[in-house]
Structure 1
Amino acid sequence: MTTTRTLLLLRHATAEPARPGHRDADRRLSPRGEVEADGVGAFLRDRGVLPDRVLCSPATRTRQTLERLGLDVPVELVPLLYQAGSDEVLELVAAADVGTVLVVGHAPAVPGVVYDVADPGTSSPAASAAVADRFPPATLARLEVAGDWSDPSTARLVEVRLPAGSEGRLLR
């Protein structure tokens, strides 16, 4: 029997604008972003979708997003995630070697993983259409991968949760 693994990809919630004289990595969540992150956390907890491990960029906005999710699971801050490409994200996921991984990161890497591995033939048409040309802050994508993480090239995009305040909008 083939094991199905779950990959959760979350772009950090809405951050404050860049401030002159401050590093991009130090940008904090905006009040809107705090509400968005709270909503994603409630969604995950209410559905019982809890990762075995979280891989998170060390940027302030990603760490704040993760904190507001309210998940009690192992977390690894991964400096590479701050400027990673989709290939590097997939390598990190493969190394995690657990059943469900949540990646909290940035664009373009997080949406890039979805675009690179979601199989259009088996993925949800509504979820695929929802992120076809956009992946706003606080968007959560859930993909299922048959087998191990070594070849996620035929992952199935099961659902996408788009931000809409604390309620969000779920597309399957």
Structure 2
Amino acid sequence: MVAHPNIQEQVQKELGSALSPSKLVCYEDRKRLPYTSAVIKETQRFSNIILFGAPRVCVDDMNVLGNFIEKNTLVIPDLCSINLDPKLWETPRQFNPNHFLDKDGKFIVRDEFLPFGTGSRACLGKYIAQVELFVLFTSLVRAFTFRLPEEVKEVNTEPVIAAVVHPRPFKLCAVPH
């Protein structure tokens, strides 16, 4: 949100209009917070923490989109290529919550959004992580406005690629909202 103050402001406006100030945020609130939900999903798409999904072994010969994959072939899903594919995303290399909103501003589920993998071997923690991300993010953005310190003009958003992808260290201020 430090890198996108206008988006942070929109989330805060939506939170202020959709939720009573005294109400604690719960996961069910996501249904009334389409923009906030889109920002969370876009954060996961744009700033994914893993580059590749869990390796799998093909159990049968198969044809996937015209490509023959032989039985016992090791398959490693390239999540980055999905998250940054210009055929799937209007502006793949920009942070754009509209990727998850329809023309009327309603939240949409995207089949090509796979931060937890897919199928029977998707991340076991997927559902608890979704709840935690929503409740933590909305609670923090509701309570604080995040900005850079006076002496810092911009944050470097280029990730550090290591065992997991993570942001470069930076300072921020959490100002009570």
- Return the structure number with greater strand share: 1
Which of 1 and 2 has higher RCO (CA within 8 Å, sep 6+)? 1
Q: TM-score, normalised by structure 2?
A: 0.28
- TM-score, normalised by the number of residues in structure 1: 0.28
| Structure with greater Cα Rg | 2
